[in-house]
Amino acid sequence: MERAIYRDLLEWKNRRGRKPLVLYGARQVGKTYMIKEFGNREFGNMLCMSTAIRIPRQKPFSRRIRM
């Protein structure tokens, strides 16, 4: 699957003195797929980290305070 962003990723890869890539965007549009595909094609080694933090919701007043 080729996407327009692949061209941008290639430009980033070929940039001299490039910095680590951080990719932001809407949910479920193929960011992870594209990064993994790009990494597999263009690099021998790759580290892909998700920074999405999922904090479980708690019920209000679910903790008791001892006095």
- In this prediction, residue 57 carries a pLDDT of 65
Spans of the chain, pLDDT less than 70: 1-2, 53-67
Instruction: Give a yes or no: residue 21 inside a domain.
Output: yes
Question: Can you tell me the distance from the alpha carbon of 10 to that of 42, in angstroms, rounded to the nearest whole number?
Answer: 8
Domain around 37 = 4-42
Number of domains in the chain: 1
pLDDT tens track for 17-33:
999 888 888 888 888 88
pLDDT of residue 13: 95
In a domain? residue 59: no
| E strand or H helix at 41 | helix 31-42
Does 17 fall in a domain? yes
Confidence (pLDDT) at 8: 92
Task: Kindly calculate the radius of gyration of the chain based on its CA atoms and give it in whole angstroms.
Answer: 19
Q: In this structure, is residue 33 part of a structural domain?
A: yes
DSSP 8-state class, residue 27 = T
Residue 28 located in a structural domain: yes
Residue 54 lies in a domain: no
Residue 65 in any domain: the answer is no
Burial of 6 (0-12, 13-18, 19+ CB in 10 A): middle
pLDDT at 17: 94
pLDDT of residue 4: 85
| Distance, CA of 60 to CA of 58 (rounded, Å) | 6
